[in-house]
Amino acid sequence: MAHPEEKRTQLRGLYVHQRLPMETACKKLGVPRSTANRWKQDALDKGDDWDTVRAAVALGDDNFSALSKKLLEDYLVRHQATMDLLRNDKTMSAREHAETLASMSDSFNKTMASFKRLAPELNKQAVQLDVLQRLVSFAQSKFPQHLAAMVEMLEPFGEELAKVK
């Protein structure tokens, strides 16, 4: 049975923009899964990768961004707690400590690299904060006479930075 082009567009919208599972989108529109798979493959052959667009839509979603932030926060809290336990553990051998640290370092680096790709705006904010902290440290050591003026400017400047998208 031939379906109108509008059905294909609706299916793509449900799958990509509403992020419904393909099976659910098919049931909602009364389209067989095999037809949906064919449409999706046809689109891919023409350069329209529904899965890539779906992922990009998810990355731009505010809920996804909030979830990403929460996941990173949870990871960092657990990472720090593990480091504290490791620091206080007197039963592990030096080799076990080194292996655990290496594993944690690898995990941390992979997590941060993934997060930078998933939430570039947070990475940008982290860089901004790092630069401000370095500037304050520099001023403290090299120009302590200007610290009062710097402190007066930092808060309003921080607000300006927060506005930059």
Q: Could you tell me the residue ranges of all domains in the chain?
A: 5-59, 62-118, 119-165
Structure tokens at 111: 């997590």
As a three-state string, the secondary structure of 62-116 is HHHHHHHHHHHHHHHHHHHHHHHHHHHCCCCCHHHHHHHHHHHHHHHHHHHHHHH
Cα–Cα distance measured from residue 126 to residue 123, given in angstroms and rounded to the nearest whole number? 5
Confidence (pLDDT) at 60: 63
pLDDT higher than 80, residue 97: yes
pLDDT per position as a tens digit, 113-139: 877 776 666 667 667 767 887 888 898
Cβ atoms of 86 and 57 closer than 8 Å:
no
* Proportion of the chain above pLDDT 90, given as a percent: 27
pTM, full prediction: 0.44
Q: Return the SS3 of 147.
A: helix
pLDDT per position as a tens digit, 25-63: 999 999 999 999 999 999 889 888 888 878 767 766 666
What would the mean pLDDT of 70-95 be, rounded to a whole number? 90
> Measured between alpha carbons, how far is residue 111 from residues 60, 71, 74, 76, 80 in Å?
19, 10, 12, 10, 14
Instruction: Tell me which residue has tokens 């707690």.
Output: 81
Q: Return the SS3 of 143.
A: coil
Cα–Cα distance measured from residue 50 to residue 123, given in angstroms and rounded to the nearest whole number? 27
Structure tokens at 2: 């031939």
Confidence (pLDDT) at 147: 85
Structure tokens at 87: 């620091």
pLDDT per position as a tens digit, 72-84: 889 999 999 999 8
What would the mean pLDDT of 93-109 be, rounded to a whole number? 89
Confidence (pLDDT) at 126: 65
Provide the mean pLDDT of the chain: 84
